Homo-oligomer: A and B are copies of this chain.
């Protein structure tokens, strides 16, 4: 792992631990324990890492970005907790461990998701180093990309499409919301914290759309070809529920080609930024050229 990633990961995990520290008091103890179970699982920390990578290249101290980066990881984690619930995807495994509702009662998992979603906005509103306009821009970016126009909208399309014959256009719209949503937010976060111009924010937004879809295409490929052991979650579950995926629509090879083309498009968007973005380029490569 690159030293940037190693250091970033340590800082992010440290801050996540601090933000949801252990407590012996009601109602914090049962909420925080459950939140820590999901939040401190060995995930990729991809979205926080993207925020820090943008700031680093803009010459901004990583400390300015850590709380907002953690807010993104909270939103990502809440979405996994809710998506895994029996009434949604009904998954038993996540990040190599039993899903939260397998360890706690279902209501406890649902409420923990609600808590992480709400808490993300609380910590954005009090993030250090940033002025009121920046904090407000972060709140707006997160709410938009995590909401109906982003992640929740994508999940809605996903669940409505179960067992339906959908075309590539609908699948792309779904991925653009469900997966690109928070990745766009991560890149915008980096831009906002770095005081980027609106042109630069626009380029980051476009790069996020492209790399997010590519990332999901590779997920579909791995869901088709991978083993449960390397992925740490139940595989082939999309096929089982007869969900359309990129692989089922385009075939394995064309899906890989499309992901590669989107990666190049995302990198081309980075080239229009006022600073060179070597860390972001590296992360983008890893997002597409991976085994799990």
Contact = CB atoms under 8 A, between A and B. Distances in A.
Contacts of A28: 148, 153
A229 B170 CA distance: 45
A72 to B, nearest CB: 13
Nearest to A140: B125
A118 B151 CA distance: 11
Given A27-B153, A157-B27, A144 B173 contact: no
Smallest CB-CB A-B distances: 8 pairs: A122-B143, A87-B106, A132-B132, A27-B153, A27-B156, A125-B140, A118-B147, A121-B143
11 contacts: A26-B156, A26-B173, A27-B152, A31-B148, A108-B159, A111-B156, A117-B117, A121-B121, A121-B143, A122-B140, A125-B139
Nearest to A177: B27
A interface bracket (residues with beta carbon within 8 Å of B): 35 or more
A96 interface: no
Contact of A119 (B105, B106, B148): B148
Contacts of A177: 27
Each complex incorporates copies of this chain amounting to 2
A82 B156 contact: no
Contacts of A113: 114
A96 B122 CA distance: 34
Contacts of A139: 121, 124-125, 136, 139
A140 B117 CA distance: 13
A115 B79 CA distance: 12
B88 A160 contact: no
A38 to B, nearest CB: 15
A253 interface: no
B119 A155 contact: no
A30 interface: yes
B31 A156 contact: yes
Interface string A59-91: 000000000000000000000001001011000
A272 to B, nearest CB: 27
Contacts of A208: none
A251 to B, nearest CB: 25
A111 to B, nearest CB: 6
A103 to B, nearest CB: 15
A212 interface: no
A26 B125 CA distance: 31
